[in-house]
Amino acid sequence: MKLPAIALSFALLTASLVAQDKPTPDHPLYGTYSLSFENDIISEKDQNYSNGLRYSWTSPSLRKFSEQSSMGRFGKWLDTLPWLGLYEYERNVAVILGQAMYTPADTKTTALLPDDRPYSGYLYTGLGLIWKNDRVRNSLVLNFGVVGPWSLAEETQKLAHELTGSAEALGWDNQLGNEPLIALAYERMWRLRPTTRDTGWDWQVFPYAGFTLGNLAINVRAGSELRFGFNLPDSYGMGSIDPASTTSSPLEGFSSKRWRHRFGAHLFIRGEARGLAHDIFLDGNTWRDSHAVEKELFVFDLSAGLSFNWRNTSMTYSLVRRSREFETQGNEQIFGSVTFNWTF
């Protein structure tokens, strides 16, 4: 898929959206909408992490989870928990829908390639809970999904390749079998240097740590992001898609000043290390025999990019370099990531 065409399409959509006045808090569209797209087009071929697409909606900041009407009694119960119910935090609820696909380096053969990663797709939805203040953000995400033909990854890739005139991947008959997946992920991020002024040049650092549990993945991770720019948004940065714990960073809060600024831009660099105990896309199906490879126990990401924000809209582009994920993988991988956020 061609990133320039996608970027142009969403730029036109963004232009129409930002022309609108900010809705009142009870408006049915109120909240933050996020669309992220990742692809290995940089390498000019499908391999390893081939494509990721995530759409999410995040509620405006809440005093209590129960203020989000769709949470019902569950929201009231969350407000009674000692940690989540602390009054000092702002809260958000996030709803997530996404798809990811993985392919071996050689997609021109129908044969199973035992030394290369399995074909696999992941279709998922999730619910995220966020509680934060100006110095720390916690997120807890429960994702449900499927791997295998049920994920529709094969059909999605074939359609995309037909539209762009790309060669078809021929080995999808060897993909992992159907399996329901679940993943519970937690992440805590610190803002070591909150914004000290309303406008102008500034910089911030965001160290974070977290874990994932489930038959999708079992891992621990830690990393940090450094950003520097003009009129920094009221957010906690923007990482690449993690299919186990995807949440958007709302660009608004009780004390947010972002609506005053017509334009802002910043550069960022982000590094992350993950320790892997389980990864279904490398280890294969949980309850049946399937293609698998010997995974690396530690994987590292290094990304750098540029983000623009204007009124209620932001656009972020980054390049991500990922270390080898399994022992017989030929090279490290580089892929591009584009994210659009609209806050109403």
Question: What is the structure's pLDDT at 298?
Answer: 97
pLDDT per residue as tens digits for the range 191-232: 987 665 667 898 999 999 999 999 999 999 999 999 999 988
For residue 61, which of 338, 268, 258 has the smallest C-alpha distance? 258
- Out of 99-108, 247-256, 304-313, 319-328, least confident range: 247-256
| pLDDT tops 90 at residue 280 | yes
**Of 15 and 84, the one with more pLDDT:** 84
Q: Taking residues 159-181, report their average pLDDT.
A: 90
What pLDDT score does 70 carry? 72
Residue 341 has pLDDT above 80, yes or no: yes
Count of CB atoms situated within 10 Å of the CB of 91 = 25
- Among the listed ranges 15-24, 120-129, 314-323, 330-339, which one has the minimum average pLDDT value? 15-24
CA distances from 274 to 48, 131, 299, 302, 321 (A): 17, 24, 5, 12, 14
pLDDT score for 82: 72
Is residue 9 scored above 60 in pLDDT? no
Angle at 210 between CA 208 and CA 216, to 5 degrees: 140
Which CATH architecture does the domain made up of 3-343 adopt?
A: Beta Barrel (2.40)
pLDDT tens for 45-69 read 667 898 999 999 988 888 887 777 7
Encode burial over 282-304: b for 16+ CB neighbours within 10 A, e otherwise.
Answer: bbbbeeeebbbbebbeebebbbe
The stretch 254-259 carries a mean pLDDT of 52
Question: Which region among 72-81, 186-195, 263-272, 278-287 has the lowest average model confidence (pLDDT)?
Answer: 72-81
- Is pLDDT larger for residue 287 or for residue 23? 287
Residue 334 bridge partners (DSSP): 321
Q: What percentage of the chain reaches a pLDDT higher than 90?
A: 52
Task: Name the more confident of 110 and 133.
Answer: 110
pLDDT surpassing 90 at residue 258? no
Three-state DSSP string of 239-264: CCCCCCCCCCCCCCCCCCCHHHCCCE
